[in-house]
Structure formats: C-alpha cells, structure tokens
C-alpha cells in the first residue's frame, strides 16, 4: 500500500518560525514603548513581520511545500505506462501546476494576514498604554504557537487540501483512460465514516471514475468528505474471493 504524502512537516516548521518571531518581539515592544506616538507610526510603516518570517525560513518552507506538490504529481503520473503517458496532454500537467500555485498562494496569504494582525495587535497594545508584560501575554495567548497558522484546524485544512490535490491529480492522469478501475482504500476503525465503509464494501473489484462519481455518497476527488483518510487506488491485482467478502462485510445497512 502506497502511503499518501502529507504536509505534516509544514505545521511543525511554521510553529518553529512563529515562536522565533514572537521571541523577537519582547525587545521590540520595550523599545517602541519608549518613543512618541508620532515616531511610533513612522517606524510602524517600516515594520514587516512577513518579511521577518521569510528571513526565519518561511520562504524555504514554501519551497519544500511546492516540491511536495510537484512530487505528488510525478508520483501519480508514474502509475501510467509509457504508452499511456504518451497520450497525456501537456495542458493536463499545466492545469495541475496552476492548481498547485493556487494552493501555495492560499498558504502564503494566510501567513501574510497573520503577520499583519500580529503587528496591529502589538501596536494597539503600545498605543493604549499596556505594559510590556500585558502586550506579550496577549500576543502569546492570541498569536502564539497553536493559533492561527499553526492551529490544529489549519493543519487539518492543509492536509485535506493536499489529499484532494492528490485525488485531483489522479483523476487528471486517467482522464484519457475512462475504463480504468479503482478501489477504495484506507483505515477502518471507530473514526471511519459510514460512507467510507460503504465505499469499501461496494467498490468490488473496482469502479471507473464516472461510476464512482455516480455513487451519490462519495466521489473521486473529495472521497468521504473533509479530512477523509481514504483514497481511490488503481485496481491492479484482483481481490480474492475471501478478500472481497471481508471488504463487503465492512458495511451493513
């Protein structure tokens, strides 16, 4: 079973960058608190926390994210035979690369928004006369590790988007081969949705993408929905009678 790549590394690295940035703010808050409001506003125009995050490694992190998307495209298209690859249009590859760029822009814009909000919160605290301790406590509580760009919800959204991108890449790779069969694969445990159990049970020796999208309770790109842990895999080797029985038993009305 091929394990789907993910962007777990992104959340770990963004937490590190986030913490380094906030650690630098303590001395900055102290210095800015000693100047007049007029001087503060002049200096504020030059403060760019996003640029600072780039210096701390965000740019390199995004390069790694981009490579992970590119590697996923390559991994999916590697499933095709040389004959099949010859029939894939350049436009299909370019469309996926554009989709990757949209995903990258979404991530970058989120971090840029975070950096702007962090700057605003810091300046607000200074202008309203909060103590350095109060400002930093508020910043750590509202903008610290585990919030905004490194929250668990954001991590889920990022990995879910990548998983959907993988499925979209596979659908695009087999666009010219509509007869290709796929089966549903993934964990079956107490977290598994009924629709996913049903898809495993009813996909048999495999379904075409059109058949999958006609099921009504799952589809090819989105599978079982948000943060789904399952994937449609190309049916290469038929299941044995015993294996099919086990899969059929996964769901009962």
Tens of pLDDT, residue by residue over 64-76, are 999 999 999 999 9
Residues 117 and 195 in one domain: no
Helix (H/G/I), strand (E/B), else coil: 184? strand
Which pLDDT belongs to residue 249? 95
Residues 107 and 218 in one domain: no
pLDDT band at 4 (very low <50, low <70, confident <90, very high): low
Cα gap 102→137, rounded to integer Å: 35
Residues 151 and 233 in one domain: no
Residue with token string 């889920």: 156
For residue 43, is it within any domain? yes
Residues 148 and 228 in one domain: no
Residues 48, 24: contact at Cβ < 8 Å?
Answer: no
Looking at 167, 187, 219, the residue that finishes a domain is: 167
- Model confidence over 101-133: pLDDT tens digits? 999 999 999 999 999 999 999 999 999 999 999
Element counts in the chain: helices (H) and strands (E): 11, 2
CA 192 from chain centre, in angstroms, equals 20
Which pLDDT belongs to residue 113? 98
- Rounded to an integer, the average pLDDT of 83-100 is 96
Looking at 140, 167, 194, the residue that finishes a domain is: 167
Residues 201, 250: contact at Cβ < 8 Å?
Answer: yes
Question: In terms of residue numbers, what domain contains 20?
Answer: 8-167
For residue 113, is it within any domain? yes
Residues 162 and 202 in one domain: no
Both structure tokens of 206: 């495999």
pLDDT band at 3 (very low <50, low <70, confident <90, very high): low
Q: Report DSSP letters for 35-99, one per residue.
A: S-HHHHHHHHTT--HHHHHIIIIIHHHHHHHHHHHHHHHHHHHTTS-HHHHTTS-HHHHHHHHHH
Q: Report DSSP letters for 187-201, one per residue.
A: --STT--HHHHHHHH
Residues 135 and 24 in one domain: yes
Residues 159 and 188 in one domain: no
- Model confidence over 166-217: pLDDT tens digits? 999 999 999 999 999 999 999 999 999 999 999 999 999 999 999 999 999 9
Residues 64 and 89 in one domain: yes
For residue 206, is it within any domain? yes
Looking at 133, 167, 201, the residue that finishes a domain is: 167
Residues 102 and 134 in one domain: yes
pLDDT band at 142 (very low <50, low <70, confident <90, very high): very high
Which pLDDT belongs to residue 119? 98
Residues 52 and 156 in one domain: yes
User: For residue 1, is pLDDT > 60?
Assistant: no
User: For residue 223, is pLDDT > 80?
Assistant: yes
Report in angstroms the alpha-carbon separations of 130 from 45, 95, 134, 167: 21, 50, 6, 50
Q: How many domains does the chain have?
A: 2
Phi and psi angles of residue 194, each rounded to the nearest 5 degrees, phi first: -60, -35
Both structure tokens of 111: 């971090």
Residues 44 and 113 in one domain: yes
The percent of residues in the chain predicted with pLDDT above 70, rounded, is 98
Both structure tokens of 19: 């913490």
- Rounded to an integer, the average pLDDT of 206-230 is 97
For residue 79, is it within any domain? yes
For residue 2, is it within any domain? no
Angle CA 95–77–155, to nearest 5 = 70
Mean pLDDT score of the chain = 95
Cα gap 113→70, rounded to integer Å: 26
Residues 222 and 184 in one domain: yes
CA-CA-CA-CA torsion for 66, 71, 72, 77, nearest 10 degrees?
130
């Amino acid at each position: 079973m091929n394990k789907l790549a993910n962007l777990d590394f992104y959340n770990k690295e963004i937490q590190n960058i986030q913490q380094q940035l906030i650690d630098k703010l303590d001395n900055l808050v102290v210095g800015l608190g000693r100047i007049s409001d007029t001087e503060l506003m002049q200096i504020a125009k030059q403060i760019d926390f996003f640029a600072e995050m780039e210096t701390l490694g965000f740019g390199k992190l995004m390069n790694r994210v981009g490579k992970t998307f590119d590697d996923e495209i390559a991994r999916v298209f590697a499933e095709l035979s040389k004959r099949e690859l010859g029939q894939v249009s350049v436009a299909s590859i370019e469309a996926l690369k554009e989709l990757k760029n949209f995903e990258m822009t979404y991530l970058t814009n989120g971090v840029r928004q975070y950096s702007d909000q962090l700057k605003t919160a810091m300046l607000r605290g200074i202008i309203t006369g909060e103590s350095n301790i109060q400002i930093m406590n508020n910043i750590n509580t509202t903008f610290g590790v585990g919030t905004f760009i490194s929250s668990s919800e954001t991590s889920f959204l990022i990995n879910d988007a990548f998983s959907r991108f993988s499925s979209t890449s596979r659908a695009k790779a087999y666009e010219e081969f509509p007869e290709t069969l796929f089966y549903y694969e993934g964990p079956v445990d107490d977290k598994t949705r009924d629709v996913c159990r049903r898809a495993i049970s009813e996909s048999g020796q495999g379904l075409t993408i059109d058949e999958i999208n006609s099921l009504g309770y799952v589809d090819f790109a989105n599978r079982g929905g948000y943060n789904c842990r399952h994937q449609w895999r190309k049916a290469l080797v038929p299941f044995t009678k015993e294996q099919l029985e086990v899969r059929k038993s996964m769901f009962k009305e």
